[in-house]
Each structure stands twice: as C-alpha cells, then as structure tokens.
Structure 1
Amino acid sequence: MFANSETKGHVAHVDEVSSSKHHDGPVNLGLDYENIEKRYWRSPRFLGTCLAIIFMANGLFIGYAIPVNILNVIDADIGPSSNISLVTLINTLCQGIFFILVGSLSDAIGRRYFIIAGELSGVLGAILGATAKDINWLIGAGVFVGFAAAVQISYPLLVMEMVPNKYRFWGQGAISFMVLPTLGFGPLIGRVIVQNVHGSNGGWRFTYWLSAIVNGISLILFVLFYFPPAFHDLQARKSRVKQALQVDYAGFGIYACAIVCLLLALTWGGQQDPWNSAKIIALLVLGCVGLIAFVLYEVYMPLADPILPMSLFKIRNYYLAVIIGAIAQMSYYALNVFWPTHVSALYTTDNMKIGWLSSTTGTALAIGEIVMGPVCHRIGHFRTQLVAATTGLCIFGGLLGMANEHREGLAIACTAMSGFFVGWLELLSIVMAGLVVPPEKIGVAQAFHGSTRAVTATVAVAIYLAVFDGRITVDLPREVVSFATSAGLPSSSTTDLLLGVANGTTAALEAVPGMNKTILAAVGAGTKRGYAMSLSTTYLTSLAFGGLALITCFFIKDISEYLTLFVNKKVDGTLHGEQSEEEKV
C-alpha cells in the first residue's frame, strides 16, 4: 500500500487511524490530536517522558562530545597507549551497528525496554570510564557507551512520535534548544572541567561521572513515566516466541560485519596503515561486498520481518531525505574535524580560547534547528527551503577557504553560518524522513537515516584527512622554507630547519644553524601560511558534497500534505481513545 504512491501512503497512514489487527506485522496505533484528551498533554507520564528525553539527548553528547575533545589529557594520565583512538572508534562502530537493530526491533515489539536498556548501558559505561585504570579499560567502557549512544541517538524519533505531525519541526527545534549546552559547548565544557577540576585521579574522570548522573536521571524517568505501546499492542497475532524466531538475524549479521569492515578501513586508512596496504584494501572490499550482499539478501529472501524493509526505498522523499541528510553531515564534518586545528594552528594556543572558538560549529548547528524549527511549517515551500539551506552551506563553506591566518573574523563568521545552514538542512531531512514513511516503520526509517549519516561522516573524515595530509606535506615545508630564507636563513640550513619543524619544539628550531629571532618569527608565519593553504584546499573539497546535495534537493516533492494533526503514539500506556488512570482522576 505504501510502496505504490506517496499520496496514497499518506492518506492511509495519516488520515486513517486504524486499530484493526488484520495483518501479521506491527500495527499503526496512531490517532488524531482531536481524539486525545486535553489532560493527556499535561499528564505526569507525558511531561515525565519529555523530561526523560531531554536528559537522554544530553547524555548522548556528554558521553561522546566531551571525552573526544580531551583524549590527549586522558592518554597522558592513564596512558600513553597507541590504542587511544579506539575510545572514539568503538563508539562509532556501536552506533553504526546497533542503531538500525534498535530501530527495527522497537518498531515491532515496543520501545520502552530498548530505551531503558540503553540508558542502563550508558550508566554502566560512564561508571567504568570514570574508574578506568588504563586505556584498554576505557575502550571496554566505550562498548557500553556506544550501545547507549545507539539508543540515545533516537531522541528525535521519540519526540516526533509524541507530537502531531504538523508540529514535528517545532518539536525538533525544541529538543535542539534543550541540548544546546552539551551539543554546542561540549568542547568548552571538557576543557573547563580538565582545567578546573583537580585531583590525583585526573579531572577528566568528572566528565564520565557527569555522564553517569545525567544518564541515571534519564533512566529513572523512563522507568517511571514512559509507557508507549507494548508488544501485545503492536503484535496481536504473534506470540513472543514467534516474533523472536522471525527476527532477521542473518540480515543483521551481514549488515554488522559489512559496517565494521567499512568503518575500520575508513578509520585506519591513511593513519595506521597506507591506503594501498593489504589490510585496508581487504577491509574495504569486504565492507562493500557485504553491503551489496545485505541489499540482495533483504530484497530476495522471503523475510517476515526484514531488518531494513526495502519498500521504504520506493518512497522518493524518504531516500532523498536520507541522501540530503548524509551529504549535509559530510559537509559538516569538514568543520567539525578541522576547525579546532584551524584555530590552534592559525589564531591562538590559549586552551580556553580554543574551546570557545571550537564551539561555534556545534552551537550554530543547534541554533539553526532552534530558529528554523518553529517557522519551517509556516514558510512551507520545503523544496525551496532545502535549496536555500544547501546554497548557504556551499557559499559559506567556500568562503571559509579564504579564511587564512589574517582573517580570524571571517573564519568565525563562516563556521557559524555554515553550522546554521547544516542545522537547517538536518532539521528538514530528519523530520521529512519520519513524515513520509508508514508510522509503524518510523523507527527503522529513522535508524537507517541515522546509520547512513554515521557511515558517510566517517567516509567524509577519511576523504578530508587524505586531502589535508596530502597537502600539508607539500604546503608546510614549501612555505616555511620560503619565509625562512626570505628572512635570511642560509639555504644550507633548510634540511635542519625542516627537521626542527617536524620536532615541534622551540629548542629544536633555535638549534638550526643561522637561526635568529627574526628568522624564528618568519618560520612561525610560514607555518601558519602552510596550514592555511592546506586547510583551504580541504574546505573547498567539501563543496563537491554540497553541490551533490543541491542537485538532490530539486527532486524533492512537497510534504505539506503530511503535516496534519496525526499523533503517532501516546506514551501513557493507553491506546486510541482510552483514558489513563491519571486522566480519569
């Protein structure tokens, strides 16, 4: 029914509130806003669930955004270890693997216990991280934190299920406002904690204790207040045993193996191992072949409950929303990864100032969602909005390539505006991906949307790092030598100069034959120029992704017809017109 026509699919899943259980799959349990008791929106279960989601979303960013910005401090305290990068890699892997499983299964059997399990995992992971005695221990904690993140990253889905369709943009903007402190200022918070919380156990541990507290509060709130439709509501014709037997274990296994191979190849390639090494090539081939095998398996196997229903990709606006969201994420990661390096290499070495300036991208992204959330529906013309947001991202992403060591103000303005337009794009793509699919498939639809963004973000980072590493090995020595010799350094000392630059200490540079204060200052200026040129090339590379997103936007159909008063699920343990015990009082 939903595969044949977007319009017909809309009529079926938006305008007809079906309570019949005539099929052998999850049931659409939504209803119209007008059929919900007004007291429901003020009930403890609804308000308690809202508060739980706020804490869950902040727990997601506290558990990742803060530690990832202080890994050098952690490594210095309980390391050093060559495995320190695995602390963040394991988080990415767990999100990429488990998010789609959580989304698919929770559609079929209910979300309550998945959410509770995820928050419990977040608490355990944070406690293990706070008490870690070495890096390997911290990596183990990252498995629990990563599984929690695979659940917590579904916070937009929970918000959108609870509010009428026409207010989903508003809901996404509201939750973005609530996570602004941790999403926007995560890098700064981490640096403030490290700088001001002292003790023999390391101030960084407090970031994990903070995560444990926030996740713990969220866990308690979900246990007490979150009661969405349960298994017996969603699967009237199935027993729990039958549902367990119909889970697409093989499909999930193929998908998980493919994603692990692909993410490992993209993370290690060019860093731990050369791109042409046998290990990286093998991982890339296995990952790509695995994804192809997964698609073929899901298409041709007669599965009762596929882990990823291929019928979703017959809905044009859905797969276009996935593409646009993924490309927006790829463009954003050029800023997210290189902006802190840009700041520290060109403008300042002050730890706190780096933290403040590094926060501009995340803060601007959240502000983009906050500002546009309440007005997207009123503006309408969603294709035009997508084109405008993508165009703005391309313009300011291109201008950022002009932000050299003498244009700090331009750099800050461009990162802020680029972040704003990414936020606008993400708002549109996230809401659209959930609106145009059948309501009983919203979990898996949003999960695939999120998993795709995680994978493409890793692809983007690999591309940007390859471009930057390729340019910096050329630009940095050329500019340093040019500036130094122009200031009077003998050409016979250039080899020693480059060795001193590679060493990275003032003492090594001062030991270069013929070095003086004037030449030393010129070396500093040449270093900045080399970094500026390499960063410029990297930023301009992101325009290719922006251009692809812009082309994709023109194929989007209008989604105004979906913006009705349909509410996907109630969270007070009642169905349709039933009243909860709270409402009866």
Structure 2
Amino acid sequence: MVSNVGRDSEDISTAYWRSYQFVGSLIAIVLVGHSLFLGYVLPVNVLSIINQDIGPSNNVTLISLVFTLVSGVCLLLVGRISDVVGRRYFIIGGQAFGLIGSIVCANAKSINMVIGGTVFVGLSGAVANLYPLLVQELMPNKYRGYGQAAVTLAMVPTLGFGPLIARSLVTYTALSWRWCYWLNVIVTGLAIILLATCYFPPNFHQLNTNMTKMQEFKQLDYGGFVLYCAGLILILLGFSWPSSQYTWRDPHVISTLVVGCACLISFVVYEICMPLKQPLLPMHLFKIRTFVAVVIVGSVGQMVYFALNILWPQQITTLYTTNNMKIGAISCTTGAALALGEVITGPFFKAVGHARWQIVASAVGLTAFCGMMAATNANTQAMAIAGTIIAGIFVGWIEMVCIVTATLVVPPEDIGSASAFFASVRAVSGTIAVSIYVVIFSNELTANLPKEIVPAVVGAGLPVGSVPLLFEAVSNGTATALNAVPGINPGIIAALKIATKTAYSSSFKMVYLSSLGFGGFAVAASFFAKNVDQFMTDFVNKTVVNKSRHVKEKTGDAELV
C-alpha cells in the first residue's frame, strides 16, 4: 500500500491524471470556489435591495460584517487542523454549512434571519477561501502557475461577473435577490456529492503514523486559538465600526482596537514561548523571508485594490450612470480584469521565472494605475474603465505570483497553515483598507460638496437665502423636495448636478492618491522576495486516490494508477 502524501509526478501513472477521482476533485474544488462568491459577493452587491424587500433594518450592514468575522476567524483554524487530520471532511463540512446557511437566507423573512444564515455561510467561506490551496497541492510544483490560472479561469462567472449576475437576478427573476442564495444551494449540493465520491486526500492515519486522533486533539493549540480569535474579532470590529456606527474617537472603537492588538501580541508571545506540539501558527514560517515578503505584498497590494473595489461602483453611480444593469456591467471590470490577470500570467510563472522581479513589476504596475485613477472625472468614463481594467490585471498578477510562491517556499506539512494565515491577513488588511478609504472619502465629500455647490448654484441665480433649503432638499433625495426650493429652476438644477459631480470627483481623487502610500509599501516589500526556480520540480504535495482501486504493488514499489 502507498500513502498519497508527497511524491514525484514521475512516480504517478498517467492514468491517475485522467481518473474520475482526480477530475472529479478538480470540478468539486471549482464549485467550492464558486460557493465563496455566490454566498458573499452576489448578496453584498444587492444589500440595499434586500433591505427594501424584508427590512428596512439598520442591521443590514451586519450581513457583510458577520461573513468577514466568521470566515476570517476560522480560516487559520481550518488550515492548521486540516494539515494535521486531513482536509476531506473539513471541505465537505464547510460546503454543508454553506448549504444550510444559504437555505436559511433564501427563505428569510427578516434581515436578522439573513444575518443568522450568514453565520453558516461564513463558516463555509472559511473553508472555501482555501480553494487555491486545494488546487496547488494536487499539482506538480512546476505546474502550479498553470493550476492557478486554470482555476481562476473557471471562477470567471462569479469572480468576474458577480455584480452583473446579482443585478440581473433582481431585475429579471421573480425570486429576485433570493436566487443569489438558491444558486449557492445548488452549487454547494453538487460540490458535496463530488467531494464525497471523488476527493480522498491523505487522511489522518496517512498524515500521522505515530499518534491516535485523541492524542493529536489533546495537543492542539487551544490557548493560541482563543487569543487569535479574540484579537482578530476585536480588530475587525474596531475597523468596521467607524464606517457605520461609531466615530474613530468613540471609546468603543479605541478600546476594541487596543484590546484586539494586545490579544494578537499576546498570541505571538504565546506561540513563541510555549512548548507547543501543534502550534496554531508555526513561528518558523516567519523565518522564511520570501513567505513574509509575499504575505506583505499580497495583503498590502489588496489594500490598494480595495480602493477600486469599494469606490468604483459608487463612482459609476454618481458620475456616469444610474441604470441598474449598466452599473452592474461596468462594475465587473475590476473582478473580470483580476481573473484575466491571473489567467494571462499563470502560464508564464515558470516559463519567465525570476519570481522576485515578477512580484516587483506587478506591485509597481498596480500602484501606478490605481494612482492614475485620481485623474478621472465625470468626463473621462473611458479612461476610468481602462484604468480599472489595467489595474485589475496587475492585481491578478500579484495574486497569482504571491499565492503560488507562498505555497512553494513553505514546508509541505505546513502548506495549509501558511495559506490560511495569508488569507486571514488579507481579510484583515481588506477591512482596514475599507475603513480608511471610507473615512477619507466621507471627510473629503463633506468639505467638497458645499465648496463646489454654493458658488455654482448662486452663480446660476439661486437666492443666497435658499442655499440652506437646497441642501436640505438634496439630503431628502426627491425631485419634489428639490423643486420646492424657492427660486429653483432647470438652469440651477443643471448647475447643481455638475457641481455635485465635481465634488465627488475631487473626493474620489484623494482616496486614489491615498492608496499610493500602501502601494509604495508593497513595492518596497517586494524587493525582499527571492526567486523560487529551485522549487519548480515534479513534486506533488498530495494525491486524491481511493487506494483500494488506484494503487497497486509493482516490484516492491507502489505505483499510483
């Protein structure tokens, strides 16, 4: 008998690569990836419509926050424990949670019911976030770039066109937004069937030959998990609250961030000082310079990308169009371009080599073209679309090279922990970026609206005494309120619209410029990465075989067939 842990591809029969188990596992992993985007990206794009249908509720923003908290906190736990006991039942269990949560959300009668279902969807998301890892560890090292490109290409429908799909479901189907969740029910159900019949990665006994399951579970790092979870939850809450409930100076925010930072510092000290047999996060990973560099570049680079991800839909709405379908279609440029970037650059990862310079070039390109968005305004729609596409392609390049490099340079037995930590850091950095960008944008818009509107409308003939009433009407948001302002006329309304767009353009500009700071940090960190040509071998981390059917003994040596 042979273990399906770590072997050269030359020792694996060609029949294995065509077997139903290998092909079925790849299809299942693609479905797992789709469940991540169906369960989160699609609903988040239509939150306002969900709130109109079964609300209104001030808790609607908790839908996205709960998903981020639950998936972010559980990521490292899933990665580490599945390294120890095997991934099969974690992946199947994660999809089962997604199935249950999506059924709850699809049948929700209130916002609180959607939030409750999102807890289960978030647990599923913690597992689904690792879909790139699941592909990487089944591929020979030298083909991991191709593997990342292929799985990203398969993700294009939901990764690239999620906003358009969500708005199309709302516009053209009777179930409206509920189809976002029903689609996830279908996808997770199919994934569970394929995983149960095809996906047989190394199990506990193949990964641990000297210990029982009870012995392994006794040695798990429960203390580290408590500190890590507490710190991460508090950090995520602290950076999320200023965009919705509290100001930055509020004691709730300050105390939460301080205690959260203290917990994470305590976690690091605990992991270093305690004699742990199974640490939650092996500290020796941080001695691998290239791993640290790609985590920083990938996470900080994502913070630059979030400037586009958060602002672009709003920029489209306020500057270019209010048509629901057009907004959905144009919003897809960032996600579709990210996928395109990974698909284009994946095959060249090994052929070009010099991973270090690929990381540097991608970080420079992303920073430059995201900063270029600061030059866009209401009259440069084509330039703005082109900018988001080019920046998105560079994001895809960063994601591809960082994800592949991170899985190559760490020990095979720690690949789950390393990938989960990388994903967790990206979740935290994304939340921090959103909070910072929202604050900058809000402050700039508050200052720019009166600065642009007052001289414009007064110059167009609005009496000075009507200016306060005009701002009240604008806040009201209805044409009736606007037409009731004394002295208003079509010329003044036209001047108001132009001035409002100018104010928004100036506010967007400052956020895009602020992203240059994060981009510069990513560029600096990229120079610390090393080339990984020596890792581009035939080594396959794991295989997915049912040993009774796919393993035979041949002249004393086991061969996968």
If the length of structure 1 is used for normalisation, what is the TM-score? Answer: 0.93
Distance in 2 (CA, whole Å) between partners of 1:367 and 1:279 is 42
Letter in 2 for 1:291: L
- The offset of 1:556, in angstroms, is 1.2
Aligned-CA RMSD value: 1.6
User: Which residue pairs with 2:223 in the alignment?
Assistant: 250
Q: 1:61 aligns with which of 18, 37, 53?
A: 37
Q: Name the % identity.
A: 47
1:81 aligns with 2:84: no
Distance in 1 (CA, whole Å) between partners of 2:436 and 2:180 is 31
Distance in 1 (CA, whole Å) between partners of 2:226 and 2:471 is 49
Distance in 1 (CA, whole Å) between partners of 2:320 and 2:519 is 27
User: Which residue pairs with 2:325 in the alignment?
Assistant: 352
1:448 aligns with 2:416: no
User: Which residue pairs with 2:505 in the alignment?
Assistant: 532
Q: Secondary structure at the match of 2:375?
A: coil
Q: 2:202 aligns with which of 210, 229, 241?
A: 229
8 Å Cα contact 2:11/2:560 also seen in 1: no
1:413 aligns with 2:386: yes
User: Which residue pairs with 1:512 in the alignment?
Assistant: 485
Distance in 2 (CA, whole Å) between partners of 1:72 and 1:458 is 20
Q: 1:43 aligns with which of 19, 39, 45?
A: 19
Structure 1, unaligned runs of 5 or more: 1-18, 20-26
Correspondence list, 1:143-182, <5 A:
143-182=119-158
- The offset of 1:498, in angstroms, is 1.6
8 Å Cα contact 1:308/1:444 also seen in 2: yes
Distance in 2 (CA, whole Å) between partners of 1:482 and 1:110 is 66
Letter in 2 for 1:552: A
1:392 aligns with 2:365: yes
8 Å Cα contact 1:369/1:423 also seen in 2: yes
User: Which residue pairs with 1:463 in the alignment?
Assistant: 436
8 Å Cα contact 2:297/2:363 also seen in 1: no
- The offset of 1:405, in angstroms, is 0.5
1:116 aligns with 2:98: no
Distance in 2 (CA, whole Å) between partners of 1:534 and 1:346 is 12
- The offset of 1:584, in angstroms, is 8.6
1:266 aligns with 2:242: no
- The offset of 1:514, in angstroms, is 1.3
- The offset of 1:492, in angstroms, is 2.1
Distance in 1 (CA, whole Å) between partners of 2:371 and 2:34 is 32
User: Which residue pairs with 2:304 in the alignment?
Assistant: 331
Distance in 2 (CA, whole Å) between partners of 1:127 and 1:148 is 13
Structure 2, unaligned runs of 5 or more: 554-558
User: Which residue pairs with 2:556 in the alignment?
Assistant: none
Q: Secondary structure at the match of 1:84?
A: helix
- Stretch of structure 1 that moved more, 406-415 or 506-515: 506-515
Q: 1:185 aligns with which of 147, 150, 161?
A: 161
Q: Secondary structure at the match of 2:278?
A: coil
User: Which residue pairs with 2:295 in the alignment?
Assistant: 322
8 Å Cα contact 2:38/2:180 also seen in 1: yes
Q: 1:564 aligns with which of 537, 540, 554?
A: 537
Distance in 2 (CA, whole Å) between partners of 1:284 and 1:554 is 31
Distance in 2 (CA, whole Å) between partners of 1:487 and 1:376 is 58
Q: 1:372 aligns with which of 342, 345, 350?
A: 345
Distance in 2 (CA, whole Å) between partners of 1:465 and 1:482 is 26
8 Å Cα contact 1:229/1:573 also seen in 2: no
1:554 aligns with 2:514: no
Distance in 1 (CA, whole Å) between partners of 2:4 and 2:211 is 15
Distance in 1 (CA, whole Å) between partners of 2:51 and 2:503 is 28
Letter in 2 for 1:221: L
1:502-533 deviation per Cα after TM superposition (whole angstroms, max 9, x unaligned): 22222222222211000001101111111010
Distance in 2 (CA, whole Å) between partners of 1:384 and 1:406 is 36
- The offset of 1:579, in angstroms, is 3.8
Letter in 1 for 2:485: V
Distance in 2 (CA, whole Å) between partners of 1:227 and 1:271 is 44
1:498 aligns with 2:471: yes
Letter in 2 for 1:111: R
Distance in 1 (CA, whole Å) between partners of 2:421 and 2:139 is 21
Distance in 2 (CA, whole Å) between partners of 1:584 and 1:180 is 33
- The offset of 1:340, in angstroms, is 0.4
User: Which residue pairs with 1:24 in the alignment?
Assistant: none
Letter in 2 for 1:325: G
Q: How many residues align?
A: 555
- The offset of 1:54, in angstroms, is 1.1
User: Which residue pairs with 1:287 in the alignment?
Assistant: 260
Letter in 1 for 2:195: F
- The offset of 1:95, in angstroms, is 1.3
1:29-78 deviation per Cα after TM superposition (whole angstroms, max 9, x unaligned): 20111011111001111011011011111111111110000111111111
8 Å Cα contact 2:13/2:560 also seen in 1: no
Letter in 1 for 2:74: F
Distance in 2 (CA, whole Å) between partners of 1:266 and 1:579 is 55
- The offset of 1:270, in angstroms, is 4.3
If the length of structure 2 is used for normalisation, what is the TM-score? Answer: 0.97
1:168-199 deviation per Cα after TM superposition (whole angstroms, max 9, x unaligned): 0110000000000100100000000000112x
Distance change in 2, residues 1:350/1:363 (3 Å): same
8 Å Cα contact 1:37/1:579 also seen in 2: no
8 Å Cα contact 2:149/2:343 also seen in 1: yes
- Post-superposition, which runs of at least 4 consecutive aligned residues in structure 1 deviate over 2 A? 577-580
Q: Secondary structure at the match of 1:30?
A: strand
Distance in 1 (CA, whole Å) between partners of 2:189 and 2:517 is 42
- The offset of 1:578, in angstroms, is 4.0
Distance in 2 (CA, whole Å) between partners of 1:573 and 1:279 is 53
Q: Secondary structure at the match of 1:274?
A: coil
Q: 1:278 aligns with which of 230, 239, 251?
A: 251
Letter in 2 for 1:438: P
- The offset of 1:406, in angstroms, is 0.5
Distance change in 2, residues 1:270/1:115 (3 Å): closer
Letter in 1 for 2:158: T
User: Which residue pairs with 1:12 in the alignment?
Assistant: none
Distance in 1 (CA, whole Å) between partners of 2:56 and 2:285 is 47
8 Å Cα contact 1:53/1:155 also seen in 2: yes
8 Å Cα contact 1:229/1:574 also seen in 2: no
1:140-185 deviation per Cα after TM superposition (whole angstroms, max 9, x unaligned): 1001000000001111001000010011011000000000010010
User: Which residue pairs with 1:208 in the alignment?
Assistant: 181
Q: Secondary structure at the match of 1:359?
A: helix
8 Å Cα contact 1:489/1:515 also seen in 2: yes
User: Which residue pairs with 2:452 in the alignment?
Assistant: 479
Distance in 2 (CA, whole Å) between partners of 1:325 and 1:506 is 45
- The offset of 1:241, in angstroms, is 0.8
